Structure 1
Amino acid sequence: MSDAMRLRLVFSLLMSFVMSLLMSAWVTWLNIGLHPDFMLRWRHAFLAAWPVAFTVVILCAPTVQGLSRKLIGKLIDK
């Protein structure tokens, strides 16, 4: 496996972990507040979200990166 691919996988793993952790906590809190079983529900939401988030990051990151380059290029050209 190339260094670039290894970097992409590690980045995707860490980014999806952080985003899933924070977003599942936020949405769980919005839905139920600080309910007595908040941690249990948050854990369930996180474990359901992380594999999906990882897949989305792996599949969409190259497209988003390319779009970002185009947008920044247009901003720099102005």
Structure 2
Amino acid sequence: MPSRFAPYLFGFILSGLMSAVVSGIATLRNAGLIDGVLGLWMNAWLLSWLVAFPVVLAVAPITRQLVARVVKKPEARA
């Protein structure tokens, strides 16, 4: 895969992992360990991921700018 796709792949993987964790926690808290909880989680995860991926792509540039303002730049070496 060409390197120009790296930000999109990063967003895809990050949004997938984070939406899996968050939807899993929410599903377990709401439904408990019942029969069929895995199916409930998968449905919640798919919907969450469909929302999370474009949100991550849209918010990433703003987040990078905020981080750049907060973090000190490395000092130049002579």
Question: Which interval holds the TM-score relative to the shorter structure?
Answer: 0.7 to 0.9
Aligned-partner Cα distance in 1 for 2:37–2:71:
41
Aligned-pair Cα RMSD in Å: 1.7
C-alpha deviation, 1:73, in angstroms: 2.9
Aligned-partner Cα distance in 1 for 2:30–2:36:
12
Cα-to-partner distance string for 1:21-47 (whole Å, 9 max, x where unaligned)? 111100001111111111010011001
Consecutive unaligned residues in structure 2, runs of 5 or more: none
Aligned to 1:9: 8
TM-score (norm 1): 0.85
Cα-to-partner distance string for 1:44-64 (whole Å, 9 max, x where unaligned)? 100111011001000000001
- 1:15-54 aligned at under 5 Å gives the runs 15-54=14-53
Aligned-partner Cα distance in 2 for 1:67–1:23:
24
Q: What letter matches 1:66 in structure 2?
A: Q
Whose radius of gyration is greater, 1 or 2? 2
How many residue pairs get matched? 73
Consecutive unaligned residues in structure 1, runs of 5 or more: none
Q: Where is the helix percentage greater, Structure 1 or Structure 2?
A: 1
TM-score (norm 2): 0.85
Identical columns (%): 30
